[in-house]
Structure formats: structure tokens, C-alpha cells
Structure 1
Amino acid sequence: MALMVLCIYTVYSARPCAIFRPMRLTLKHQIILAPAAVLLLMALLLAFLQYTYWDLSRKRQEARNLGTVFVALAEAELATQRMHSLLMQLGGEPLVDVRCFGELNGLYEHLDGATGRILQILPLPEQSRTLLRQAVADLNPELGIDVDRFNAAIVMLRPELGSLSELIQRQREKLRGLHSQDVDELVDHTAFVSIVVLGSAIVVGIFLSMYFGRRILRRVKELSDSAGRVAAGDLTPPPAPAQVHDELDALALAINHMTDRLLRVVGTEKLLEGAEEERRRIAMDIHDQTLADLASVLRGIQEVRCEGECKNGVARIEEDLRRAIGNLREVMDNLHPQTLDILGLGPALESHLERHLSKPDLPPYHLYISPRVDTLPLSRAARLALYRIALEAIHNVIKHAQASRYEVNLDRRENDLILSIEDNGNGFDPRAVPTSGHRGLYNIRERAKTIGAEVSWGASRFTSGTRFELTLPLPDAGQGA
């Protein structure tokens, strides 16, 4: 009952968590607390019933012992009376009939056995026990038929047996009444206690389940709402618990850290997208304005008609202007490759390699681009990120690997797009490369994160060198870019 009152107070008090706040239970303990409390109350009920049954069994055993003593007293009394009758018949005869002697011997055995059971069961005073043993020993026919000794022993034994019989009879009557009364009270008491304990167990289980269930569901709903807001685009981190007490606190802390990291990833993605958009705008401005102006100047110079030294000067100016236009176009291509928007990822890579990396002083390469790549539903951001990552990885091979050849592969493997660049150079361990001073690897990782790709560096299939691989999960069929 006290436990039930405590649970009710816990659920409906003004501060429902006050009792459990100092020592918050783990989630699994909160879940099993209600059935554990019910099982504890049921165990206490079983212990009470077991004790009650033991007490009843003890009283029944006591009643059986009194019955055994009563029968033994009756047997001893009958044996004593019969022995007294036989002694009266014998009188003062000097010779004893064999049959009388045998009967006396049999009666003595019954008397000895009955008194032995009495002394074994009854907790008699030592004086009474000594008197009984002495009287029975004096009635032993094996010691000789001495009528005076027998009469003295019977006179000493019969009053003691009579008093014991009266005592046992009173105890039996008293125990019989108490037994009947105890059984009725026991049934009523046991039924009442069983109903109270079962009812308390049900109430305690319900209230503990309600309290912890409501508490767990409220916290789960808060976490679910936080995750839903993050999924909907609201990247406000949910509050992190000051201390991790259970699994839900650990989940809340994980969601907080995940949201914080997602904020950084999204911030990086937005920054890269903004930078690429600005580069694209600058390239368009250069193309639409600066190149147009330079082309107009070039046409004006080409229309100039002069002879001699003047003609040579105009030719030099025209050549310098053409070189400047070419350099400006290269700058435009580095800012934002137009071939990527016009032709696609594969042709843009192929064009860049042919125009810039097919020189005699650079290592030869092998390029393979699957025809299925151009049909993939890649967004403009994904195509641009893949293009920049491929160029950065190729630049690292040329600058650091000291390779004599390398291979560039762009292919589709089931539901993934695979970009791999493999060389036969020195090789390196990317984990041993410090972050500071090596922006190339950092840029590759950050660009891959913005499009949801994974990058890895491993051993090359050549005898030496490094294999760079990017894996981009492709959107489902029918999903737009």
C-alpha cells in the first residue's frame, strides 16, 4: 500500500519528476520497473501465503502429536490396568503360570513403547520423566515377579498417567477449537490480503507504466519533432542535455551533434555553390563584355592600312592582342568551363585533358569515359563538383606523384557513379598528410561531401602508385536532376 501511495504521489504531484530526478534511471530500467514492481508484490504475496501455510502445517503437526500422545496414554493406561488385574489374580502364589508371565511380558512391551512415545513427544519436566522411566522399569517382568514392587510401581504410575491424560485432553480440546477458528480466520485473512496485494500490484503496475511511458513518449516526441524540423530544412540544433543519463539523452546529444555537423556541411555547400556561381557570372561577364571589346579592338587593328615600320608594329600589336584573348579564354575556362554546360561532364574532361595535359613534358594518360555517363541525371552542381575533383586529383598526380603514366576512368557501377584516377608514381598515405598546406585533399573531401559522394585513396593496380576513387550514389530512375 505504501508503494502504491508513493507511485500515485509521484504521478500526480506538482513536481512529477522530483523523486526520480536525483537518480535518473536508464531507459531499459524504466521499461522494466513496472513489471518488476508487480513481480515484487506478487513475490511478497507468495511469501506471505507460504508463511501462513507453514504456520498452519505446524499447528496441524502439533495436533497430530497430541493425538499420538493421547493414544499412547490410553494404551499405557490399559496396559497398566491389565497388569494390575493379573497381579491381583496371582495374589501370593509362589509359582507363576507361563501364560500369565507371557501376557505380563507383552503388556510391559506395550507399556514401554507407549511411554517411550510420550517421553519423545511431550516436553515434560525432568522429575516427571524420571518418575515414568522408574515406574516402567519396575514393571519389567524380566526382573522377577515381585507383587509388592509391581503394586508400588502401579500406584506411582497410574496417577501420573491420569494427570497427563487430563492435560492432553484439555490441550486437544483447546487446539481443536483454535484450529477450527484459525482455519476460518486464515481463509478470510488470506483472501483479504491476496485481494489487496493483487489490487495494489495492478495499480502500481498501471501507474508506473503510465508515468514512465508518458515520460518516455514525451521525450521521444521531442526528439522526433527535432528530427522532423531538421529534415524539413530547419537546421536549428535541438538543445543538448547537460548530462547523459540514459539512451534518449544519448540520442538527443547525437541529433544535436548531427545537426551541428549538417550546418557546417550545408554552410560549406552554400559557400562552394556561391563561389561557383560567382565564377560563372565573372566568366559570363568576361565573355560578354571584355572579350567582345577586345574582339572589336582586334577588328579595328586588322582594318588599319599602313606600310613599313608601322605595319610591323600593327602586326605585333595584333599578335599580342590575340595572345591576350587566348589567355583570357583560358581564364574563363578555369573560372567556369563552358564545355561542361554545353557538352556535359565527359566531353569537358576530355577537352581539358587534350588542350592542357597532352604535352610532351607531361606524363601520358589513358582516358575512359563510359557512354552511359552523359545520360545520368546529374545536377549542375554535381557535374561541376565532379569536374573540379577530377582536375584536382589529376593535378596532384602531375605535381606530386612523379608518375610516368596515369589512367582516368569515369563509369557507372550498378547504382553508383565511379570516378577513379590511378598512377604508377610514388604513392602516399592520405592519413599521414597534414591538413595545413594541403588544401587540395581538403577541397576534394569538402566538394565530395556537398554532393553526397565518398572518396578514398588506396594502392594502385600498378607495381607502385596510388588509386583515387570517388563513389557517388545515383538518384533513383525517373528522379529528376
Structure 2
Amino acid sequence: MRLPLKYQVALAPALIIVLLVALIVYLQYELNAIRAENEAVREWTRVVETAGAAVGGAVNLDQVAGYIDWTRRTDAGNVAALEDFHFRYLDQYRDLRQTLAYPGYWDRLSDESRRFIEAIDQDIRYAEPLDTDRARIALAELIPRLEEVQSSFLAKRRYAFTEYYRNVNRLTSSLGVVATITLVAGVLIAVIASLWTMRTTRRRLQRLAQEAGAVCELREPGSTSLVFGRDELEDLAACMQNMTRRLVDVVGSEKLLEGAEEERRRIAMDIHDQTLADITSLMREARALSEVKGLDETSRRRLAGLAQGLEELTGDMRRVIDDLHPQTLEILGLGAALRSHLEKRLGGEGQPAFYLNIDREGERRLTPFARLGLYRILVEAAHNVVRHAAATRYEIDGRLQDDTLVLTLEDNGRGMRVEEVRGQGRGILNIERRARAIGAEVSWGRSRFSQGTRLEVRVPLTATTPADHPRQAHG
């Protein structure tokens, strides 16, 4: 399956973007891991600080208990000092309990350490009267345990620091390797995708340039085009300019023919309404004068001859009017108008037989200008057959194929080479010019008879609602 051009152009950038996104995802994943380890190191730092505070709190509590015990022995009457030491003991105890209750610290203690601290708490808790000996004995057991816990946490923090920096170094190294690999792979993929896109696009542009060149040079599409030695886009631009000029010429020819046909119609109407009416009136007047009584025989014969000449002139004028603009074409249609012309002008003794068959539905869908153009083309071709082909039979057939009306004229004459006779007269040029004016295609070939020529005219039809018209033969 061939990718559309826009996807081919976007392929290389898309692959690079995919690689960059993958690199960013990998980097984000590693950074998240490093961030988690960094947070763990920071948490261990807080835990170690808490462990140090717990050891310090236990030592301070032991000192306050010692002060209370010493004051009782040496200065028992100093009630104010004892009361102050009692309050200090209570504050130190609360601070120690709060320090030990820190979740990061308490949760990392072993179950045995937690049970030991909870048991010691019963001995050091402040109560009236305060048993300082019991509290100091308990604190003497608690402080070494807390120092042991602090040492354990310090070792774990050092291990977390070591792992953190090791992973940072690993990430730095791996990131450099991955970035290098991604860069090299991206460059290779971009080069390969760009070369493939350039090759594919160039091949398609060359094919398009060849087909456009064939159209510009009026050759069959697919044949080898001229090599201009320039960029394909410049060739296409030149072909577009050439086709634009040809299109302007065709449109100009169409407008010129439309104007000419309109002028012919106007002249034909003027001749019919004025000149022909005047001649008919003169003919009737001459006949009326030839029948006047008392007129000598010579004058009578001369007036009768004048009336006969005027009648013949009337017939000639009607033929001229029909040549200028066939009225039967507008009234009866293409098939009937062709049949009438062929029977009147090309029929009779010694003339080749003809067969005429045009699809009514296809004829109905023709525009008036296309109908008139086809009439002129087929009349011109039929006259050429009668004058030059030495044929005994010719056939005109019109068939509807999808949205195209295909008209063919075939004869059994001696045939011809279009290239050889193209410059010998204007018949073929007129046919091709009229065909281009109505947007039709003309082709010449061998007849289906044993010999002779085939003319084919393909006319694209305008979009209309099909009607139920049967295919009818006109001859």
C-alpha cells in the first residue's frame, strides 16, 4: 500500500519525535527512581537526627533525675528547687516520648526494641511520688539501647547515600550511552526515511511530469515525455503554463464558434424572414401576371420562366439557410436532422448507402452547442466519405457509455492515413477544432469493414436526470 504524499513527508520527523519521546520517557523513569532514592536518603537523615535527639533526651532526663535525687539528699528543705526539677523532668519526659513517637523512627525500630521501650516507659514515666532510683536504672538500660539504634540507623543512612550516588553515576553513564544511541539511530532513521521519501516522491513526480508532458505535447498519457533537463516541479510548472495557454485557446475557439453559430442563426433567420419572403412574393406575382388575360404568348412564357427561376432560387435559398443553421436540429433532434441532410444532400442514385443510429437518451443530455457541434462534425465527415473514400456504405452509430456519448462513423472505402492528409485540406482540422470546442475527444482508426476508416467522437455528457427514452434507429 502506497502512503499518501503528506504521510511520506511527515515520516522522518515522526520517527525522530518517537525516538525523542522514548528517550524522554526513559529519562523520566530513571529520574523518578533517583528522586525516590533521594527522598529515602533525606528520610534516613531525619531518622538519624531523631535517633540522636532520642539519645540526647534520654541523657537529659537521666541528668534531671540525678539532680532531683541529689537535692533530696543534700537540700530536702528546698521545696522550690525540687518542684522546679520535677517540672523539668516532666517536660523532658514528654519531649522524649514525642521524639520516640516520630513515625519514621518508631516504624523502623524492631519489634523487640519497641517492646523494650514500652516496658522501660513504665519505669521512667513521671508519677507522684517520683522514684528517681528506678527511673535512673531504667534510663541506664534505655540509653545504650537508643545509642545502638542510632548506630544502626547511621549505617543504614550511609548505605542509602552510597546507593544513591551509585545510581546517580549509573544514570549519568547510561543516559550518555542511551542519548548517543538515540542520536545515532535518529540520524540513521532520518537519513533512510528521507532518502526513501525523496526517491518515492521523485519517482511519482517524474511519472506525473511525464504524463503532464504527454498532455502538453498532445501525446497519449504514459508515453515517454521529452527530457527538459530541469527540476520536475519546473517541468510541471512549464506544462501547466502550456496547458493554460491551450485551454485559453480552446475556450477562445469555443467562444468564437459559439459566436459564429449565433451569427449564422441570425443570418439564416434574416434570409428566411426577409429575402426568402420577398423572393416568394415575387414568384407569386410573376405567376399571377403570367395568367393575366390578353397577354401575348411570348410575355406569358417569359413570366412563367421567371416564376420557375424564382422557385428554384427559393429552393437554393432554403438549402443555404439549412447550411447556415439547420432548423430541423432544434425541432427534431440530432438523429432526425442528420437523416434529413444525408437523404437530401447525399442520397439518391449512385450515392453510398448509409445507416444511422443514435441513442435518444444520450442525445437528450447534450447541450445545444454540443448537439450543433456534433451535427457539423458528422456532416463534414459524411461529405468527406462521399467525396474522397469511394465507399459504397457508411454507418453512423451513437451509443451511451456511462456518462459519455460515443459517436462513430465507419465506411468501407479505401481508407486513409490521417497524418498524410491532415495538411491537404481543412476537413480534418475543422472536425478536430469543433470537437475540442465542445470538450470531445476525436480518434481515427481502421473500420470494422475489410477496409475503410473509422472516426470516433467521445462526448462527456452534462449531468441530467435520465428519462425513459428507448434506443431508436434513424435509418
The TM-score with structure 2 as length reference comes to 0.51
Task: Establish whether residue 343 from structure 1 lines up as the match of residue 328 from structure 2.
Answer: no
Residue 310 of structure 1 deviates from its aligned partner by: 0.6
Q: Which residue of 1 aligns with 2:127?
A: none
CA–CA distance in structure 1, aligned partners of residues 235 and 20 of structure 2:
33
CA–CA distance in structure 1, aligned partners of residues 350 and 16 of structure 2:
82
CA-to-partner distance for each residue in 1:166-212, whole Å, 9 max, x for gaps? Answer: xxxxxxxxxxxxxxx9997675366468679979999xx99xx9xxx
Is the 8 Å Cα contact of residues 340 and 347 (structure 1) preserved in structure 2? yes
Task: Establish whether residue 284 from structure 1 lines up as the match of residue 269 from structure 2.
Answer: yes
Structure 1 residue identity aligned to 2:416: F
Task: Establish whether residue 404 from structure 1 lines up as the match of residue 389 from structure 2.
Answer: no
CA-to-partner distance for each residue in 1:125-168, whole Å, 9 max, x for gaps? Answer: xxxxxxxxxxxxxxxxxxxxxxxxxxxxxxxxxxxxxxxxxxxx
Q: Which residue of 2 aligns with 1:381?
A: 369
Q: Among 281, 284, 298, which residue is 1:296 paired with?
A: 281
Q: Among 418, 421, 433, which residue is 2:409 paired with?
A: 421
> Aligned pair in 2 of structure 1 residues 384, 184: CA closer, same or farther (>3 Å)?
closer
Is the 8 Å Cα contact of residues 398 and 406 (structure 2) preserved in structure 1? yes
Secondary structure of 1:436 counterpart: helix
Task: Establish whether residue 268 from structure 1 lines up as the match of residue 262 from structure 2.
Answer: no
Secondary structure of 1:421 counterpart: strand
Residue 276 of structure 1 deviates from its aligned partner by: 0.9
Structure 1 residue identity aligned to 2:457: L
Q: How does 1:49-448 map to 2 (within 5 A)?
A: 187-188=171-172, 191=175, 244-245=230-231, 248-304=233-289, 305=292, 306-372=295-361, 376-430=364-418, 432-448=419-435
Residue 368 of structure 1 deviates from its aligned partner by: 2.9
CA-to-partner distance for each residue in 1:228-268, whole Å, 9 max, x for gaps? Answer: xxxxxxxxxxxxxx99545x545444433332221111111
Secondary structure of 1:378 counterpart: coil
CA–CA distance in structure 2, aligned partners of residues 421 and 198 of structure 1:
70
Is the 8 Å Cα contact of residues 377 and 475 (structure 1) preserved in structure 2? yes
> Aligned pair in 2 of structure 1 residues 409, 41: CA closer, same or farther (>3 Å)?
closer
> Aligned pair in 2 of structure 1 residues 182, 475: CA closer, same or farther (>3 Å)?
same
CA–CA distance in structure 1, aligned partners of residues 416 and 237 of structure 2:
39
**Greater Cα offset, 279-288 or 289-298:** 289-298
Structure 2 residue identity aligned to 1:271: L
Q: Which residue of 2 aligns with 1:459?
A: 446
* Gaps in structure 2 of 5+ consecutive residues: 22-164, 195-227, 468-475
> Aligned pair in 2 of structure 1 residues 192, 418: CA closer, same or farther (>3 Å)?
closer
CA-to-partner distance for each residue in 1:277-336, whole Å, 9 max, x for gaps? Answer: 111111111111111111222222222123311111111111111111111111111111
CA–CA distance in structure 2, aligned partners of residues 290 and 411 of structure 1:
40
CA–CA distance in structure 2, aligned partners of residues 249 and 408 of structure 1:
45
> Aligned pair in 2 of structure 1 residues 321, 464: CA closer, same or farther (>3 Å)?
same
Secondary structure of 1:303 counterpart: helix
> Aligned pair in 2 of structure 1 residues 427, 266: CA closer, same or farther (>3 Å)?
same
Residue 32 of structure 1 deviates from its aligned partner by: 6.2
Is the 8 Å Cα contact of residues 372 and 411 (structure 1) preserved in structure 2? no
Is the 8 Å Cα contact of residues 420 and 467 (structure 1) preserved in structure 2? yes
CA–CA distance in structure 2, aligned partners of residues 195 and 422 of structure 1:
76
Secondary structure of 1:471 counterpart: strand
Q: How many residues align?
A: 282
The TM-score with structure 1 as length reference comes to 0.50
Secondary structure of 2:450 counterpart: coil
> Aligned pair in 2 of structure 1 residues 187, 40: CA closer, same or farther (>3 Å)?
closer
Structure 2 residue identity aligned to 1:429: R
Secondary structure of 1:382 counterpart: helix
Residue 421 of structure 1 deviates from its aligned partner by: 1.5
Residue 37 of structure 1 deviates from its aligned partner by: 7.6
Residue 355 of structure 1 deviates from its aligned partner by: 1.0
Task: Establish whether residue 475 from structure 1 lines up as the match of residue 469 from structure 2.
Answer: no
